[in-house]
Amino acid sequence: MTAPIVELIGDTPLIRLKAASDATGCEIFGKAEFLNPGGSVKDRTALGLIRAAEADGSLKPGGVIVEGTAGNTGIGLALVAGALGYKALIVMPRGQSAGKREALVAAGAQIIEVDPAPYSSEHHFVHTSRRIAASLPNAVWANQFDNPANKAFHAATTGREILEQTGGQVDGFICAAGTGGSLAGIAHALRAAKPDVSIGLADPAGGALYSWFTQGELKSEGGSITEGIGVGRITGQLEGLEVDHAYRIEDVDFLPLLFDLIQTEGLSLGGSAGVNIAGAMKLATDLGPGKTIVTLLCDSGARYAGKLFNPDFLRARGLPVPPWTEPDASANLSA
């Protein structure tokens, strides 16, 4: 009998990242979150938020789940909502990848797009989603950035799975932060079982958390082509979190890693996974050889093809391009 879609969320495998491991002398594993039904780690967030709303009685039969999201959480919410008899209304900022918008539509979500605005503005997509939820009958606001159910679900599932899959022999965990739920929840679970585990943050250029954890102030520098990570405030998920290592990852640092993974390990991943792997390699260098380090492979590269694998887009920004898109690439293929 086919399992309901929600039963397929989680229990993703760990994949040994050969090049990253060989380069650092550590065992670096990526948790294959792109294998979740909706294609990303945010399926877990979606299920956790919905189950919590059911448990506290705020989400009633036939209800509408409203959320402000750049894409992947919305996809997860739409799929889980459909499986459990709800509807999903997603508010997203314009300018996200076409692949994510198309995936939202394909998942059955109703979409409202708004102009990008700073979080301090009432027009920010998160605040807009809150107001819309309050105006609709039988609707709940998922509130992924500040709802404690996000962090709690990652602690109970993702963190627990990492401990089981490594036999408790994990020396470090690192990932980027969008809401911070994955990072904080996994950190909580790992530290409860192994207090000396090292927790790291990989922050893309343009994010403000690197400066927060290294200098005590929220300061954004530069910019990145990544989507959904690089938060500019201390969300509810991140309150009270301490990290042992923080790194700023530039686009020029992670793009070659993504291209190499495709050509040598058969993994096509999104930008956040590239940031995470680059961060894992930096953490491995700091911890020294022989350590076991885990990170998240959040989603696949297919939703970002127009950016990550578009040579014109990349060249216009002075960034590396996929080697196989170079004009003379075909000349290097053997018969």
Residue positions annotated with a catalytic role: 42
Query: What is the layout of strands, in order, in the sheet containing 110-114?
Result: 110-114, 87-93, 64-68, 139-141
Q: Which of 57, 154, 46, 54 shows the shortest CA–CA distance to 109?
A: 46
CB 296 within 8 A of CB 276: yes
**Encoded tokens for 78:** 């739409």
Q: Which of 308, 196, 42, 80 shows the shortest CA–CA distance to 187?
A: 196
Question: What gap in Å lies between CA 139 and CA 149, rounded to an integer?
Answer: 17
What is the per-residue DSSP string for 100-111? HHHHHHHTT-EE
Q: What is the largest CA-CA distance in the chain?
A: 64
Question: What gap in Å lies between CA 87 and CA 79, rounded to an integer?
Answer: 9
Question: What gap in Å lies between CA 332 and CA 325, rounded to an integer?
Answer: 12
